[in-house]
Structure 1
Amino acid sequence: MVDLTEQEQAAIRAAMKLVAELMDEIGWDKRLADLSEAQVLSLIEAAVEGFQDAMRATAASDSREIPF
């Protein structure tokens, strides 16, 4: 397993919210094996997009100077 930073862990939690919203639309009673390819791709896209957005927001709020 990867050692995640606190920021990465927070980004995963943020991404989880987007995935949960999509699962509300799909239905929590569906098994992963029963999802269509489009639904699985949508879940993956939501997770990746949510993670990237959260990491960008963290980077934008970081006021530390670059040490070079």
Structure 2
Amino acid sequence: MVDLTEHETAAIRAAMKPLAEIMEEIGWQARLSDLSEAQVLTLIEVAVGGFQDAMHGIAASADAEVPF
């Protein structure tokens, strides 16, 4: 695992809500190996999208420094 910044950690936490919504649809008891390719791709897209959206929000805030 890489050393995450405070902002990255916050973005991961923000991505949990949309990811949980998809897991609710799929079913929390489903094993990853039992998911269809489309379901796995949806989980990845939602997780990455949620992370990116949160990072964009953090970067747009007046108090945030440019992360690069």
Please give the TM-score of this superposition, normalised by the length of structure 1. 0.89
For these two proteins, the number of residue pairs brought into alignment is 66
Say which one has the larger Rg. 1
Q: Please give the secondary structure, in 2, of the residue aligned with 1:42.
A: helix
Contact 2:59 2:65 in 1 (8 A): no
Separation in structure 1 between the aligned mates of residue 64 and residue 27 of structure 2, nearest angstrom? 43
| Unmatched tracts of structure 1, length 5 or more | none
Structure 1 CA distance for aligned equivalents of residues 27 and 60 of structure 2: 35
Task: Work out the percentage of aligned pairs sharing the same amino acid.
Answer: 71
Superposition TM-score, scaled by structure 2 size: 0.89
1:10 corresponds to? 10
Superposed displacement of residue 63, structure 1: 4.1
